[in-house]
Chain A
Amino acid sequence: MQILVIEDEPKVGKALQEGLQAEDYEVTLAPTGEEGFFLASSQSFDMIVLDLLLPGRDGLEVLGALRKKGMCIPVLVLTAKDALEDRVAGLDAGADDYLVKPFAFPELSARIRALLRRGRPESPEPVRVDTLEIDLHTRAVSRDGHKIDLTAREFDLLEFLVRYKGRVVSREMLAREVWKEASRATPIDNVIDVHVARLRRKIDDPYQRKLVHTVRGVGFTVREDE
């Protein structure tokens, strides 16, 4: 999978490059809009990550020019401007998704996978992690054959974590996807932490192998190893 990252801030660009390479993407970095446009029109990529505030040629211009040429490659827009108008302008110009800076890397990674998967059948949801079994239809959970009672919220949380198995999920993603709280200004991090602790108590504490892990400063992950 080839990803073109058009980002002028060197640190952010390098971090994105390394992070995405670690996830087995081939990443090309373009520090200006002109270069990005040139690369996008001369080489073939699977998707583009585009910063909106670029020196010289603005991100929206690049996007508009690409779409004018009839290129329908998926584009994920990064914007520092948290304003509805910008989002609308970005989506109007042909962006497939947008992410507001500062963003958490796990979130970017999740969005990129979602965009690349688009149009293809979704891989079957994992319903088994180690000895933990989840039935998405009956919402029944068991480990080592023992039934575990989860509240509705705990089940949603577990389902979300398991869907991103092996990857890190940020509190922000959980707040938005599980608690439907869109604003980062609302203080529900404590709420999330309490639910994760309770979930752990039920599915991890009685067992040797732990599945739910905290990644300090980033979020949580469900892993089979260890």
Chain B
Amino acid sequence: MKGLDRISIRGRLTLLYVGLLSLVLILYAGGASAFLLRNLREQLDHRLNADVETLEGLFAWDGPGRVRPMTENLDEDARDLRPHLLEVWSATSSVLYRSPQLGKDDLGPAPTPNGVPAHVGARSIRLSDGTRVRIVGRRHSIEGIPVRIRVGLSEEPLWREFWQMASTLAIGLPVALLLIGGTGYVVARRALRPLDAMATRAEKITAEKLAERLPIANPNDELGHLGRVFNETLGRLERSFEQLRRFTADASHELRTPLTAIRSVGEVSLQRTGDADYYRDIVGSMLEEANRLTKLVDSLLTMSRADAGRIPLQPTEFCVLDLAMEAASIIEVLAEEKDQTMTIDGDAQVVIRGDRLILRQALINLLDNAVKYSPKGGRVEVRAGAKNGEAFVDVQDSGPGIPAKHRPHVFDRFYRVDKSRSRREGGAGLGLSISQWAVEAHGGSIELDCDHGPGCRFRMRIPIGPDANQKSREKTS
């Protein structure tokens, strides 16, 4: 089968059905020939049996130990009895008569004295000159003395007829196969032609030209299906390439900001002379930027490891309300500084299984944003509970809300609703992406809801139950 792999599909298809067809045709021809041979023999036997009855009556004794056929007396109707080969045996197995045409041949060995049935079935023998002869034997009595008569007829005309038919079949078969094979090849090639077109086009698609799509001749057949699947894959590939490109561009942009600050602060300070305090201040300022770079690089690393599924979760069981209170206890000082009220309430019975540190990080990001975007004296409300088999934590702020056109993008990396403002406050636009990853890694989801009153509400949803872990593994893998 190895060699078949080198042949094209249409070649293989053609070979396959030519092979199958040959088998069928050969079986058919064989069957037909065997049937014909049997029929012809039956006809011959029938004739022999009829003739033997006529011939029996023609023998007469021609002296002791000899009989003679009275063929001279045959009338015109019986002339066709002449080509028959005859043999007459006595009861003691001596030859009483043998047709002169037989020469030295005989029509088989001597019959055994007894036990020979009255009627012996027809059989075929071969004479010394190669002629095949059909023989019928029969018990008879001539003038009261029992003898056995054998009558034979040449099978040559029968075989001639058989071979004629067999050779007709043998010549017709390859011609038919050739015709069918050729047609099959053409049909297969035509059916597979869209595949060639797809392959040619696919060869031209590279990372730079992912916008190209495969041509689809007929969307309903198998090749169309293949093409559609391929095109969908290309679409996903194009989107992730685009994401990657944007991510790289955004990341280098974000890195450039602190780098620029470090450079210009350093360069400017070297152009003038100051005292130790001045330089200390300059170095401190540069270190602040270096810290920003460190945080940014760490966030990027977290994201890329999360993308690669390389952050292993360390699940424990805990109460969501406890998690909310813990995260809030860290962030609430920021709210206090802005005279905001942070309230936490919820159902203390809801327990989930997950990586507490990672989920806490996700919630801290949400709370940090809520405080950041709520006005002085505003409110931040945290609610934890369960609904439809899922635990949830809501973080509702009292900020200006998010304009509708920005809403679909808030979880995108580096996306900022208000670019100048967020950078001033030190965010790189990765917090929500990291939160989203953390929640999705637990099989949950995170969503933004701006329709309920002023401000916006982020809801983290985590499945409860033993399958929470299972789902999260599927998502991250």
Q: Which residues of chain A have a CB within 8 Å of any CB of chain B?
A: 82-84, 102, 171, 179, 181-191, 194-195, 198, 215-218
Contacts and interface: CB of A to CB of B under 8 A. Distances in A.
Contacts, number: 74
B22 interface: no
A102 B290 CA distance: 9
Given A82-B298, A181-B330, A217-B290, A187 B365 contact: yes
Contact of B337 (A82, A187, A189, A194): A194
Interface residues of B, number: 37
Given A181-B361, A187-B426, A194 B301 contact: no
Contacts of B431: 187
10 contacts: A102-B297, A171-B291, A185-B361, A185-B430, A187-B427, A190-B368, A191-B331, A191-B334, A217-B283, A217-B287
B281 interface: yes
Contacts of B365: 186-187
Interface string B392-436: 000000000000000000000000000000000011001100100
A83 B361 contact: no
Q: Among the interface residues A181, A190, A194, A217, which one has the most CB atoms of the partner chain B within 10 A?
A: A217
Contacts of B368: 187-188, 190
A57 to B, nearest CB: 26
A82 B301 contact: yes
B291 A186 contact: no
Given A102-B294, A185-B361, A186-B361, A215 B312 contact: no
A186 B337 CA distance: 19
Contacts of A84: 310, 312
A217 B291 contact: yes
B281 A216 contact: yes
A156 B295 CA distance: 24
Nearest to B303: A185
Contacts of A188: 330-331, 364, 368
Interface in B273-322: 280-281, 283-288, 290-291, 294-295, 297-299, 301-302, 305, 310, 312
Contacts of A83: 305, 310
A183 B437 CA distance: 15
Contacts of A102: 290, 294, 297
B74 interface: no
A181 B330 CA distance: 10
Contacts of B283: 217
B312 A189 contact: no
B427 A183 contact: no
B357 interface: yes
A182 B288 contact: no
Contacts of A189: 426
Interface core residue of B310, B337, B427 (most chain A CB under 10 Å): B337
B70 interface: no
B432 to A, nearest CB: 12
A217 B279 CA distance: 13
Contacts of B280: 216
Q: Considering the complex of A and B, which 4 residue pairs feature the smallest CB-CB distances, nearest first?
A: A217-B287, A216-B284, A217-B284, A184-B298
Nearest to B296: A185
A143 B14 CA distance: 99
Nearest to A154: B333
A185 B298 contact: yes
Interface in B359-389: 360-361, 364-365, 368
B169 to A, nearest CB: 74
Nearest to B286: A217
A92 B221 CA distance: 58
B288 A217 contact: yes
Contacts of A185: 295, 298-299, 302, 361, 430, 434
Contact of B334 (A186, A190, A217): A190
Contacts of A190: 334, 368, 426
A216 B287 contact: yes
Contacts of A171: 291
B285 A216 contact: yes
Nearest to B280: A216
Nearest to B326: A180
Given A217-B285, A217-B291, A183 B361 contact: yes
Given A182-B357, A187-B431, A194 B334 contact: yes
A181 to B, nearest CB: 7
